[in-house]
Amino acid sequence: MKQSIDELFSLQGKQVLVTGGSRGLGLQMAEVLGDAGATVFLTARSAEDLEQAAAALNARGIITDWEAGDASNPADINRVCAAALMRLGHVDILVNNAGASWGAPAEDYPLEAWDKVMNLNVRSVFLFSQYLAKHSMIPRKQGRIINLASIKGLMGNAEHDDIIAYNASKAAVINMTRALAGEWGEHGITVNALAPGWFPSKMTQGMIQFRGYEKMASRAPLRRLGDDEDLKGATLLFASRAGKHITGQVLAVDGGVSAVGD
């Protein structure tokens, strides 16, 4: 039986876990998934930030829970995932958004900075995905995983970027997305990645101030940077039945920057 467009994009009855969900892109994605009917479970390091984010989502009519934890710590990942499964029963949709960056020239890049970025941006994506696939999605023969990559995983450093670990980590997320999609497709699990361009956020504010908002926007064919709505449509597509035949894909949401080069 054919479904209406509203039914295809509905997430009624679905349970979502969003890492790095207390602010920025993570909160933006939590909003659209909750608005589409899902129950939302947030995690991030700061309990105070999570409490505020949950209150904002609850004010929108979204059922929201949270558990604080450090996504770079494997023990915390296990604890957060176990808490989500205990409270929700299962997780249908995982959004791997937690991430970090560190700026330094490649020739002087500190090892501790490399490890910090890789542990959070790459290892946590795998560990959250592994735990929830094994304990929830594979047994139920269904699931959606959405990984946050970046257009920086599709290109090299521009002048003065100095973010070698960030770029390398996001390229790793892109190929991990493809590898997991190939391995877990038989279990009814789709795995896709979003590759945002420049969005104003706590992580990007320094670079935007350094380069200048208008100058950066002028390099995008659409002559703008991302805003607090621009990830919502792509997120809902990957999370819903509307995207059930899409897996292993990377969608740039960047105003066209990756089409012409940064």
Domain ranges in the chain? Answer: 5-196+231-253
The verdict on pTM exceeding 0.85 is yes
| Bridge partners, 146 (sequence order) | 95, 192
Residue 211's alpha-carbon distances to 105, 127, 195, 198, in angstroms, are: 17, 35, 21, 12
Q: Specify the CATH architecture of the domain 5-196+231-253.
A: 3-Layer(aba) Sandwich (3.40)
Question: Catalytic residues, which ones?
Answer: 166
**Residue 70 is encoded by which pair of tokens?**
């450090």
d(CA 226, CA 248): 24
Nearest alpha carbon to residue 189 among 174, 197, 179, 199: 179
| Bridge partners, 251 (sequence order) | 194
Distance of CA 65 to the CA centre of its chain: 18
**Residue 222 is encoded by which pair of tokens?**
């659409």
Q: Distance between the two ends of the chain, CA-based, in angstroms? A: 45
Number of Cβ within a 10 Å radius of residue 48: 10
In 3-state terms, what secondary structure has residue 76? Answer: helix
Give the DSSP H or E segment for 190.
Answer: strand 189-196
- For residues 184-214, one letter each, b for 16 or more C-beta atoms within 10 angstroms of the residue's C-beta and e for the rest, the string is beeeebbbbbbbbbbbebeebeebbeeeeee
pLDDT tens-place values along the chain, 262 residues long: 789 999 999 999 999 999 999 999 999 999 999 999 999 999 999 999 999 999 999 999 999 999 999 999 999 999 999 999 999 999 999 999 999 988 888 899 999 999 999 999 999 999 999 999 999 999 999 999 999 999 988 987 766 678 899 999 999 999 999 999 999 999 999 999 999 987 766 666 666 666 666 776 778 888 988 888 999 999 999 999 999 999 999 999 988 888 887 5
Distance of CA 53 to the CA centre of its chain: 16
